[in-house]
Structure 1
Amino acid sequence: MTEQRTVGSIIKKYLTVFDGPLLLILCMICMVSAFIMYSAGMDADGRFAAHMRNFMIAFFVMWIAASVPPQTLMRFAVPLYTIGIALLIAVAMFGIVKKGARRWVNIGVVIQPSEIMKIAVPLMLAWYFQKKESFIRWQDFVVAAVLLVIPFVLIAKQPDLGTATLVGAAGFYVIFLAGLSWKVLISLAIAGAASLPVVWSMLHDYQRHRVMTLIDPTTDPLGKGFHIIQSMIAIGSGGLTGKGWTKGTQTHLEFIPERTSDFLFAAYSEEFGLIGNVTLLLLYLLLIGRGLLIAANAPTLFSRLLAGSLTLIFFTYAFVNMGMVSGILPVVGVPLPFMSYGGTAFVTLGLGMGMLMSIQRHRKLVQT
């Protein structure tokens, strides 16, 4: 009995770092992901096994991050941001080019520094506003905007507009939650709309093609519009209940490109239908709701801003991916959180989720 209690206490000790509701929701999403990845990846040798391995790595990273107090996370903000910017500059100077994009750098291992900035930017901005908590002036928002624009521009020039948008959104959420005036937001929206012709002229040809394909994918049905057309066919053919697990014709006849990564949602919709989609949306809404609740109850400005930003990043991932696959947003390389195949994305998402759990766990410890 003593040995059993000891083993039980050890297991409980390791599990208490997790937030119960978040862990339950994540496990349910991961179960759905395992089912659809087995089906979508059954023709790709080793894809399902690699996906399960990515799960384990992400949960290990999440456990480590959940064990680190928010005060310690603050100490990593400036070093992580600085290293990330240095690596982005290194990419611009002598990075590795793949498929026409310079996004990777070899530092003994090949890494994609832009992924680091998805966490480093909100961490840095939350740290900055925490230091200015007693009196936040308009000049502080300008400094925060500069801290955000630097990595955004470096990533966009790689070119990687999808990741740049995610990094920009992560930083914007922190600035907005820190108290950015609605008047400023409206002014920025008007200025952004007025600058669209300039932005259009600065886009690469393939980026313009993505926008035009979004408007009318049938103009190039076998080229740029192929992804969206086949994806929408798969989603529509799923109907109310779907064609059944492993029975998706668009998926297994390989009409859906990138069916295990960016377009996994199309394969899922075909096999599980509208009911499956509503279930998945509900799980994401529960995850986002729990994250916002953690942010609302966080004890410090730093933890509130960080938790709110991380939660809204998950929302952005899900919204952009589903919108892209459904044909209401341009095609960009944004995975569906904890569903799409991809090791780097899993680690980044696991790290963010672990930070959320750390904020919740240490709030409880402070209260007790």
Structure 2
Amino acid sequence: MGQQPHYLGRHNPEITLGQKLWQLNWGMIVLICMIASIGLGMLYSAANANLDPWASRQAIRFAVGFVMMIVVALIDIRFWFRVSYLFYFGALILLVGVEVMGSVGMGAQRWIDLKFIQLQPSELMKIAIVFALARYFHGVSQEDIGRITFLIIPLIMVFAPSVLVLRQPDLGTTGMLVMASGAVFFCAGVRLWKFAVVLVSGLAAIPIGWQFLHTYQKNRVLIFLNPEQDPLGTGYHIHQSKIAFGSGGVFGKGFLQGSQSHLNFLPEKQTDFIFTMLAEEFGMVGGLVLLGLYILLMVYGLAISLRSRNQFGRLLAIGLTFNLFLYVFINIAMIMGLVPVVGVPLPLISYGGTVMLTVMVGLGLVMSVWLHRDIKISRHGVHDE
């Protein structure tokens, strides 16, 4: 019999930093680098074959995010378990800070100006809410989860940041917070009939909520229901997106050859509508290749979740993987006119500092679950078994 392998995540002084680095999920890392490279190429094209103002800055952000991802992955998951509530309350305080001292951009108050970066706390909350719920549901019995009173605290944990984000206003991020939280609730064992009650209550509240929407938000919904209503006004974004998307055909017009984007018919081509530009230049084939890379990355996340021996790691990995899915699905459905335009970026592709760093940290946490998959964590403390 040969020497038994060491299980990373267990307390073992023989495991060196080099061994941990070797045990990183390099398949995930390769996929992440491939997707980010496509994003840099698209930002280079969006600036008409110029590294400035987007591609060079995004490359620096990716490099910083890559280092953060590796560091986060190497840190013991027991540490993340201990600080999960602190992370949540820190993000919640930042959301309150947006209300007090947030800077306004594109008609919304969503950022805190830190001089070197425009911090968007709502993006941090996408990780923080999964963190906190994974901690809350860790090691809980099905009997506890079955009690309505047990769900009051996690529902408040979801409700508080959702209201703050909705006030910014940011419908897209609010929806992502609620849906990612719902995924954690479901995987923790909450019964389906309780989701049905929440869904019916939400549908019943739509007429009331409609009265509180801003005019431009109402117009987005109306344009979604009738895209041809105002093609040169409120519906201009989605109308031009469909033209560019369809004009790419099967193989596209070629790199740097997209007419809709380079003649500035396509709005926000470096952020929300960057997938449209990719489809115009590389066609259906290029779009499917990128979607394939995303799907592989999500499969890694799901597999890692299933391999974790502790509930905290399972819920954390599944929640963050579902969060990545929401980014991709909502962005692509939005630019195709399948959902209203809500301003959700395409992860690792769209230009943006906070989004890039948040996604990279989230992926680092998923890899931390992988590295420390064999650890056992008790309900109120941590120990090895």
Q: One-letter code of the match for 2:38?
A: V
* Per-residue deviation, residues 269-323 of structure 1 (Å, max 9, x unmatched): 0011111111111111111111111111111111110100000000000000001
Q: Which moved more, 1:238-247 or 1:86-95?
A: 86-95
State which of 94, 110, 117 in structure 1 corresponds to 2:125. Answer: 117
**Aligned-partner Cα distance in 2 for 1:169–1:65:** 25
Matched ranges for 1:1-368 at <5 A: 13=19, 15-16=21-22, 18-42=24-48, 45-105=52-112, 111-130=119-138, 132-133=140-141, 135-137=143-145, 138=147, 139-363=149-373
SS state at 1:232 partner: helix
Q: CA, structure 1 residues 247+114, in 2 after alignment: closer, same or farther (shift >3 Å)?
A: same
Deviation at 1:155, TM superposition (A): 0.9
SS state at 1:260 partner: coil
**Aligned-partner Cα distance in 1 for 2:365–2:141:** 21
The answer to whether the 8 A contact 1:84-1:117 is kept is yes
**Aligned-partner Cα distance in 2 for 1:168–1:59:** 28
SS state at 2:144 partner: coil
SS state at 1:261 partner: coil
Q: One-letter code of the match for 2:72?
A: A
* Per-residue deviation, residues 143-187 of structure 1 (Å, max 9, x unmatched): 211111000001101212222222222222211211111111222
Provide the TM-score with structure 1 as the length reference: 0.91
* Per-residue deviation, residues 67-94 of structure 1 (Å, max 9, x unmatched): 1111110111111111222222232234
**Aligned-partner Cα distance in 2 for 1:17–1:252:** 44
- Which residue is 2:10 aligned to? none
**Aligned-partner Cα distance in 2 for 1:169–1:17:** 32
SS state at 1:219 partner: coil
The answer to whether the 8 A contact 1:217-1:224 is kept is no
**Aligned-partner Cα distance in 1 for 2:166–2:230:** 26
**Aligned-partner Cα distance in 2 for 1:81–1:209:** 33
**Aligned-partner Cα distance in 2 for 1:76–1:303:** 14
1 or 2, which has the higher helix percentage?
Answer: 1
Q: Matched residue pairs, number?
A: 359
Gaps of 5+ in 1: 1-9
Q: One-letter code of the match for 2:296?
A: L
The answer to whether the 8 A contact 1:239-1:273 is kept is yes
**Aligned-partner Cα distance in 1 for 2:100–2:261:** 40
Q: One-letter code of the match for 1:88?
A: L
**Aligned-partner Cα distance in 1 for 2:143–2:79:** 23
**Aligned-partner Cα distance in 1 for 2:178–2:59:** 30
**Aligned-partner Cα distance in 2 for 1:98–1:315:** 26
Q: One-letter code of the match for 2:126?
A: K
The answer to whether the 8 A contact 1:213-1:224 is kept is yes
**Aligned-partner Cα distance in 1 for 2:29–2:105:** 36
Q: One-letter code of the match for 2:290?
A: L
**Aligned-partner Cα distance in 1 for 2:113–2:331:** 29
Gaps of 5+ in 2: 1-15, 377-383
Q: CA, structure 1 residues 41+107, in 2 after alignment: closer, same or farther (shift >3 Å)?
A: closer
Q: One-letter code of the match for 2:317?
A: A
**Aligned-partner Cα distance in 1 for 2:151–2:84:** 18
SS state at 1:221 partner: coil
Deviation at 1:131, TM superposition (A): 5.6
- Which residue is 2:6 aligned to? none
Quote the RMSD (CA, aligned, Å): 2.3
**Aligned-partner Cα distance in 2 for 1:16–1:357:** 12
**Aligned-partner Cα distance in 2 for 1:34–1:301:** 36
The answer to whether the 8 A contact 1:81-1:121 is kept is yes
Q: One-letter code of the match for 2:53?
A: G
- Which residue is 1:5 aligned to? none
The answer to whether the 8 A contact 2:49-2:256 is kept is no
- Which residue is 1:7 aligned to? none
Q: CA, structure 1 residues 12+247, in 2 after alignment: closer, same or farther (shift >3 Å)?
A: farther
Q: CA, structure 1 residues 81+13, in 2 after alignment: closer, same or farther (shift >3 Å)?
A: same
Q: CA, structure 1 residues 154+221, in 2 after alignment: closer, same or farther (shift >3 Å)?
A: same
